[in-house]
Amino acid sequence: MSLRVKICGITQADQGRAIVHLGATALGFICVADTPRYVSPQQIRAIVDRLPKDLTTGQSIDRVGVFLDASLPEICQTVAIAGLNSVQLHGSESPEFCHKLRFALPDVEIIKALRIRVPEALSQADFYQGWVDALLLDAYHPTLSGGTGETLDWSTLRSFRPRCSWLLAGGLNSENVLDALSAVTPDGIDLSSGVENAPGDKNLEQVAKLFEQLRQIYQKEG
Ligand SMILES: O=C(O)c1ccccc1N[C@@H]1O[C@H](COP(=O)(O)O)[C@@H](O)[C@H]1O
């Protein structure tokens, strides 16, 4: 399966380990203080240090820190303490900010999240794609910044073809993921509240069901 599958909002080491074993290619950690899935850099490090390594490559899976309009020094410090290899910028960070971050952290993947309120908002991608490694499309919510469970109207994304890779987020779960992937063809998917018992407490049965569903597509494709 070459689809990237990021499970976001990890707060517990045993759940992180189990989710890697189930097939996730990335774990996401919410670095936004005063939100329900927040984990400190030290807590992330404790989880990351207990993740299994890939038996063939010896590499750890992707560890993504999710930030919301954080400063450059805060992101750099968190990356170093927590042992992250990817950052997701979920606020209104500018292309110039992404450019500065690239210089500060040349070996760290930069994912810019775009919260799509109306289809015209997809044109923001043009401003970022030279400066980031990947884009992530999330649904817009008037008061919450992420982890909302709101879905995008996938039919409006059919012609979304940025020059960089992209991930689909927003309200995905084991029940709707196949519909989503029959409507659009992202390079990866990102799930948080759709596979949870409560904010930050992942439902491992739902995560397992997600991977069963995904195997259906990839077995059909052979
Ligand atoms: O999950 C959070 O609490 C969160 C807080 C602040 C910014 C982003 C956050 N999560 C991101 O939201 C999307 C979609 O989540 P969901 O599947 O709709 O619950 C995902 O990219 C998370 O990384």
pLDDT, tens digit (0-9, with 9 covering 90-100), for 125-146 = 999 988 999 999 999 998 888 8
Its pTM stands at: 0.96
Cβ–Cβ < 8 Å for 17, 51: yes
* H-only helix segments in the chain: 13-22, 41-48, 72-82, 95-104, 125-128, 177-183, 204-221
Q: Which residues contact 221 (CB under 8 A, 6 or more apart)?
A: none
Does the beta carbon of 41 lie inside 6 Å of ligand 1? Answer: no
Question: What does the mean pLDDT of the chain come to?
Answer: 94
Instruction: Compute the distance from residue 65 Cα to the ligand 1 centre, in Å.
Output: 11
Name the residue among 191, 153, 164 with its Cα closest to residue 175.
191
Q: Does residue 55 have a pLDDT over 70?
A: no
ipTM, two decimals? 0.98
User: Contacts for 40-44 with beta carbons within 8 Å, 24 or more apart?
Assistant: 41/77, 41/78, 41/81, 41/82, 42/81, 42/82, 43/11, 44/78, 44/81, 44/82, 44/83, 44/84
102: confidence class by pLDDT, cuts 50, 70, 90: very high
Does the beta carbon of 111 lie inside 6 Å of ligand 1? Answer: no
4-221: CATH number: 3.20.20.70
